[in-house]
Amino acid sequence: MPDIPWSTPNPAAPDAEVYVMASRFETATLAGAVTFFLKSPGIIRQIRKAPGAHGVALRARVLRRTFLTLSAWEDRDALYRFARSEPHRSSSRAAAGSMKESAFTFWTVPAARLPIGWAEAERRLAEQKSAA
């Protein structure tokens, strides 16, 4: 399944510090993965319009029932405002019942380091999992 590559809806000032989130979702069933995948473009469009969004990407492995997201934000509050807004809010609540596992990790980086690569996101998610 193709990835949705990094896009930059609102470029950050080069000297800014940005708040980054990486997430990993594994659905319990293939049907749950298909549903997650079909809702993904709408959520990506929402992020691209969200105030304070500096970047977003999705890695979808539907047949493996696994999805990785990566996003960069002006600050934690911008991310949380997005998460509480529609359609993300209702989509995430609906998806919760079909998740086998989910993980999130957060960090800050200088805006000049954007975009963040998948290797760094996966490393941070693995570190967070092993620390838990």
pTM of the predicted model, to two decimals? 0.93
What's the pLDDT score for residue 64? 96
* Cα→Cα distances 13→21, 74, 82, Å: 19, 10, 20
Mean pLDDT in consecutive groups of 10 residues from the start of the chain, 132 residues: 88 96 97 93 93 97 96 97 93 89 96 96 91 72
The rounded distance, in Å, linking the Cα atoms of 127 and 129 is 5
Q: What secondary structure letter does DSSP report for 114? A: P
Q: What secondary structure letter does DSSP report for 112? A: G
3-state secondary structure of 12: coil
Q: Are 126 and 28 in contact (CB under 8 A)?
A: no
3-state SS string for 15-76: CCEEEEEEEEEEECCHHHHHHHHHHHHHHHHHHHHCCCEEEEEEEEEHHHCEEEEEEEECCH
Backbone φ and ψ of 109, nearest 5°: -145, 160
